[in-house]
Amino acid sequence: MQSMVVKEKDWVVVNDTKLDYLRIYPKCHVTAPEGKTVTMLLNGHPERILPGEYEGDIQLCVRDAIVRPFVFDNNKEYTYRVAAHITDNKIVDQTSVLDGIQKGSVGETLADKVEIKANDPDFNGIIVDGNSEYKITNTKIDFLGNGSNDFMGMGFGIMARDQAKVLIEDCDIHTKGVVRGTVYAGDDAELTMRHSTIFAETTDEMPIGYKQHIGLGSAYSNAWVLGTLGTCRATFFTDRATVNIENCICKSQGWGVLSIDMPQNVRMNVKDSVIYKTGESAYGAFSIGNTIDTFDNCDFSDITYAMIMASNEASGVFKNHTKVNARIGVIVYRNYQGTLDIVDKCVFHTEKAGICIKGSSSYINIKDSEFYPQNGVLLQVMDNDEQPNADGYYEDPLGEDDIPMEGRDITEADPTEDVMVTFSDMEIRDNIFNCSTNLYVNQRCPQFEMPWQPPEGPKHHGFGADLQGAKNLDVVLDHVDCSGLISASIGRHASPVLTSYNYYEIGVVTNTVKEPVNNGVIVHLNNNTVWTVPGECWITGIHIDETSELTAPEGKTLVMTVDGETVSAKPGTYRGKIHLEVVDK
């Protein structure tokens, strides 16, 4: 019987070693020489090396370290351990723990019927890099234990990097742990996944002393300020990766399902797939920076937000009968010139607003689609209630009035500063509100501090602080039958103070129709559009073309005033503070 007791000092394992019994006393460690890694296999399964007793078929596998720098932390180096490492379509024996694969075959172009089950933090399944073209089929990966940095893909099931092209087909990838993801794509990799299931669960085993924060690679939980909680993102795509997902089931217990961060040019195309959460809250997809997320005939069956469309020019497309069942359909925040398209018979069922836009100048295009918001709000423009410190809070400006900004034109929208929305070929039965102000409330919290300074660049580059404040809302109705309110308003949360305890109120306000101050609303009725005004509205501009009509419900009369003067609602263009009121005949 080969046994080893690590009792008085650390054991540095130089070569592969087989044991029947291993005891590690507290405060002792099993390590590898510099430039090497050590992985323990217990009865063929990668197992974390902790103080305790181990019996059975024990292998200590010493391999060359795979080291990559993390650019967002002063190039701190991260070391990978992996079951199979493929570079330029060659299996790298010096870095691969191939004995940690329980079943299947791994070749230079194909891994088939592979099974990897591990209880080992930060242990990766398959890494494909270099100029490889690689296929992974009929494979099952089941990992338990935390990751340490999902920005770097530590502990992910499958990773594609460099210029690798990886096809994942008929696979089942499950991870359970904090920041322990399933699939990762970075650099210039192209990752395609078909007929597969990915599922990230959490153990909620947070590092001792961990404090929730917003950080690149150092955050082990989603900060409540985004309106969701959780500790595991099922995927991580970054850099210039291209990702294609087709006929897949994608799920996460909390935080997010299809995550993208710090991209340079990421394109994610999802088709015929189901995306949902299994825990309390999670977003379906994240779009940030130079990213376009596209969803073709997908089903977001139970999610907090189908998509978050965040800073810079981040964009998204929902098309071809995509269905959304969410608390809020899409959240847009700190977004500059991004585009959201919802077209071709998509259907959104939401508990709150269909679309919520905060502190952004974005383009929204909605065509031939249906929205069923339970709170009656199809589209909400509001002040940003997110602030960038998890230990802070947000407080509504109760008793405080917005003050008109000198020189501000609220009768015309600026496409580079305001929110531009087009609805076409559809019915609108719910309401559209703009309750934005010039109060910058989200930056008043005593704990407010920008987590990092935006890099030098054009206006609105970086974290988007200068995008906050009042917005005009430009609404084009093109061949639309509208019977909802379109109006300036005042918005208030159900609770005056938002913290981590009521994080779910982020992005949710109750509107009171109110005369506009800095929040202009400009409406265009084009191409046989009929807007049947159901009640009081305040707007700041309206254009009615010769084919369209502004009217009141049957049995009612519409009274329209422009800067206090009553006018007839006939075709033409009107500017000023426009009050629409419906009265009995």
pLDDT digits (tens, 9 = 90+) for 327-340: 999 999 999 999 99
**For all residues of the chain together, what is the average pLDDT?**
94
Sign for the CA dihedral angle at 488, 490, 494, 495 comes to: positive
Using 50, 70 and 90 to split pLDDT, how confident is the model at 384?
very high
- The model's pLDDT over 4-35, given as tens digits with 9 standing for 90+, comes to 999 989 999 999 999 999 999 999 999 999 99
- Spatial CA neighbour of 87 closest among 115, 60, 68, 114: 68
- What is the set of domains in the chain, with CATH numbers? 3-64 (no CATH), 105-309 (2.160.20), 329-585 (no CATH)
Judged against a pLDDT cut of 80, whether residue 465 lies above it is answered with no
Quick one: average pLDDT of 235-242? Answer: 98
Q: What percent of the chain has pLDDT over 90?
A: 87
> To which residue do tokens 């259907």 refer?
347
Judged against a pLDDT cut of 50, whether residue 408 lies above it is answered with yes
Distances (CA, A) of 487 to 57, 185, 517: 71, 43, 12
Quick one: average pLDDT of 74-95? Answer: 96
- Spatial CA neighbour of 540 closest among 558, 563, 521: 521
Q: What pLDDT score was predicted for residue 88?
A: 98
Residues 6 or more apart whose CB falls under 8 angstroms from that of 554 comprise none
Judged against a pLDDT cut of 60, whether residue 462 lies above it is answered with no
- Contact between 270 and 192 under an 8 Å Cβ cutoff? The reply is no
Nearest-Å Rg of the Cα atoms of the chain is 27
Tokens describing residue 573: 């263009």
Strand partners, 22: 4, 54
Measured distance between the N- and C-terminal CA atoms of the chain, rounded to whole angstroms: 98
- Spatial CA neighbour of 236 closest among 265, 206, 256: 256
Task: Phi first, then psi: give them for residue 297, nearest 5 degrees.
Answer: 55, 50
The total of other beta-carbon atoms located within 10 Å of residue 476's CB is 19
Quick one: average pLDDT of 553-577? Answer: 96
Tokens describing residue 8: 């008085």
Q: What pLDDT score was predicted for residue 457?
A: 47
- The model's pLDDT over 110-122, given as tens digits with 9 standing for 90+, comes to 999 999 999 999 9
Judged against a pLDDT cut of 50, whether residue 452 lies above it is answered with no
Residues 6 or more apart whose CB falls under 8 angstroms from that of 263 comprise 237, 238, 239, 240, 241, 288, 289, 290, 291
* Residues 212, 204: Cα–Cα separation, whole Å: 13
DSSP codes joined into one string, 534-560: -S-EEEEEEEE-TT-EEE--TTEEEEE
Using 50, 70 and 90 to split pLDDT, how confident is the model at 386?
confident
Q: What pLDDT score was predicted for residue 348?
A: 98
> To which residue do tokens 């993208």 refer?
260
Q: To the nearest 10°, the Cα dihedral for 424, 425, 429, 435?
A: 0
Judged against a pLDDT cut of 50, whether residue 358 lies above it is answered with yes
Q: What pLDDT score was predicted for residue 214?
A: 76
Q: What pLDDT score was predicted for residue 428?
A: 98
The total of other beta-carbon atoms located within 10 Å of residue 584's CB is 7
Using 50, 70 and 90 to split pLDDT, how confident is the model at 459?
low
Judged against a pLDDT cut of 70, whether residue 59 lies above it is answered with yes
- Spatial CA neighbour of 196 closest among 272, 297, 93: 272
Q: Write the burial class of residue 362 (CB in 10 Å: 0-12 exposed, 13-18 middle, 19+ buried).
A: buried
Tokens describing residue 392: 């802070």
